[in-house]
């Protein structure tokens, strides 16, 4: 549903006459590999020029080591959240670095104890600068590439989904079965595995 909803959002911004659209998620995962494929397919059908980034950072590291962002809810995401919504980050609740009980904390990434509000502020500034640059590029591309365009109908979106995107879902990164799943008594267990021999 997530990827199909993106198609409808693209249709909407195109129908409203936008010349450029940046799709941004600071919450990365395997879908970061799939969204560009969906955008490439949709780009052939819409006038609005499209760009996406599924990361909380640019190519510039704002940390003084080579440990990376720390994955989901790691130091990168924590630092950015600390910069934009400091009341949502309470570093005093962070488990001790050497605490054997650290790993079971739900969805917490790595190197959180190295999170930095200042690094987050720099990361946000980098993202804003990137968006400014990309928006200018999208507007130039629109002027050069789009002459006369008719927005998609809902039926057009459904046809694009059915004929061009849906057949490729089985190969999408976000549609691959992961490692060990949740326990059988978990509420998440029923929908954990990707259905086999079915095209969603």
Q: pLDDT digit of tens for each residue in the chain (200 aa)?
A: 899 999 999 999 999 999 999 998 877 778 889 999 999 999 999 999 999 987 777 778 899 898 888 888 889 989 999 999 999 999 998 877 665 554 556 678 888 889 999 999 999 999 999 999 999 999 999 999 998 889 999 999 999 999 999 999 989 998 887 778 888 898 888 877 777 666 55
Does residue 192 belong to any structural domain of this protein? no
3-class secondary structure, 168: helix
Does residue 193 belong to any structural domain of this protein? no
Integer Cα distance of 195 and 85 in angstroms: 38
Q: Which domain holds residue 168?
A: 2-175
Does residue 194 belong to any structural domain of this protein? no
Number of domains in the chain: 1
Does residue 49 belong to any structural domain of this protein? yes
Does residue 108 belong to any structural domain of this protein? yes
Does residue 115 belong to any structural domain of this protein? yes
CB-CB contact of 137 with 103 (8 Å): no
Phi, psi of 22 (to 5 degrees): -110, 120
Q: What is the DSSP letter of 41?
A: H
Nearest to 2 by CA among 26, 32, 44, 40: 32
């Amino acid at each position: 549903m997530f990827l199909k909803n993106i198609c409808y959002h693209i249709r909407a911004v195109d129908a409203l006459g936008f010349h450029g659209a940046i799709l941004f998620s600071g919450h990365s995962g395997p879908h970061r590999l799939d969204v560009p494929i969906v955008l490439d397919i949709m780009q052939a059908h819409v006038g609005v020029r499209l760009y996406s980034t599924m990361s909380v950072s640019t190519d510039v590291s704002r940390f003084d080591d080579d440990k990376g962002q720390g994955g989901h809810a790691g130091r990168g995401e924590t630092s950015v959240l600390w910069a934009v919504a400091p009341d949502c980050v309470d570093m005093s609740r962070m488990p001790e670095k050497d605490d054997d009980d650290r790993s079971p904390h739900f969805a917490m990434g790595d190197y959180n104890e190295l999170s930095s509000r200042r690094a987050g502020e720099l990361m946000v500034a980098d993202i804003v600068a990137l968006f400014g640059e990309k928006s200018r590029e999208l507007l130039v591309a629109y002027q050069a590439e789009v002459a006369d365009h008719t927005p998609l109908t809902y039926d057009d979106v459904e046809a694009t989904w059915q004929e061009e995107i849906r057949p490729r879902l089985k190969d999408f990164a976000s549609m691959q079965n992961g490692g060990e799943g949740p326990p059988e008594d978990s509420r998440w267990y029923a929908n954990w595995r990707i259905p086999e021999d079915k095209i969603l």
